């Protein structure tokens, strides 16, 4: 729940509107007294700007930011150990491996691999 702004004027406050920019984009109706209340914010930084108007048409604005961080690590589960024999007349074996299972509360954006030991190699650093 966001905190509603405090407004005051020597005339009557006739309008209170808000606009969200950045990670979350939204706006209130253009008329009336509007408070943000409870909202779902996207990952990242959102700026909330309130504008208040009085009966004489004077306005004032104020803003604050809401930052949502992802502090939950993704999970990964690799397949079991694979043991294969070489083919007759060869010192190598082509092996099809099972992909690991990944999960995250947001989205898995990168999965890389490295081969170490007798066979070496690495995946691209992105993707």
pLDDT in tens, 72-113: 999 999 999 999 999 899 988 898 989 899 999 988 989 998
User: Domain range for residue 31?
Assistant: 13-68
Measured between alpha carbons, how far is 20 from 74 in angstroms, rounded to an integer?
Answer: 29
Q: What is the pLDDT of residue 118?
A: 85
The answer on 20 and 44 residing in a single domain is yes
Q: What is the pLDDT of residue 17?
A: 97
Locate tokens 């409870």: which residue?
38
Residue 1 has pLDDT above 80, yes or no: no
The answer on 78 and 62 residing in a single domain is no
* Tokens matching residue 2: 């966001």
In a domain, 40, yes or no: yes
In a domain, 3, yes or no: no
Number of domains present in the structure of the chain: 2
Measured between alpha carbons, how far is 60 from 113 in angstroms, rounded to an integer?
Answer: 54
* Tokens matching residue 30: 């253009």
* Tokens matching residue 111: 């999965």
In a domain, 8, yes or no: no
The answer on 107 and 85 residing in a single domain is yes
Q: What is the pLDDT of residue 125?
A: 84
The answer on 75 and 64 residing in a single domain is no
The answer on 127 and 79 residing in a single domain is yes
pLDDT digits (tens, 9 = 90+) for 17-38: 999 999 999 999 999 999 999 9
The answer on 50 and 82 residing in a single domain is no
Q: Which one, of 112, 113, 106, 104, lies nearest residue 75 by Cα?
A: 104
Q: What is the pLDDT of residue 3?
A: 84
Residue 2 has pLDDT above 90, yes or no: no
Which residues have a Cβ under 8 Å from the Cβ of 23 and sit 6 or more positions away? Answer: 41, 42, 43, 44, 45, 46, 68
- 49 band by pLDDT with thresholds 50, 70 and 90: very high
The answer on 121 and 77 residing in a single domain is yes
Judge contact between 13 and 57, C-beta under 8 A. Answer: no
């Amino acid at each position: 729940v966001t905190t509603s702004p405090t407004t005051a004027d020597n005339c009557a406050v006739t309008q209170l509107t808000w606009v969200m920019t950045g990670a979350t984009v939204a706006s209130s109706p253009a008329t009336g007294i509007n408070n943000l209340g409870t909202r779902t914010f996207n990952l990242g930084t959102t700026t909330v700007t309130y504008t208040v108007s009085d009966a004489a048409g004077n306005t004032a604005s104020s803003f604050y930011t809401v930052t949502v961080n992802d502090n939950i690590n993704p999970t990964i589960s690799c397949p079991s150990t694979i043991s294969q024999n070489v083919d007759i007349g060869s010192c190598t074996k082509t092996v099809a491996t099972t992909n690991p299972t990944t999960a995250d509360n947001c989205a898995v954006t990168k999965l890389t691999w490295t081969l170490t030991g007798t066979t070496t190699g690495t995946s691209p650093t992105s993707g």
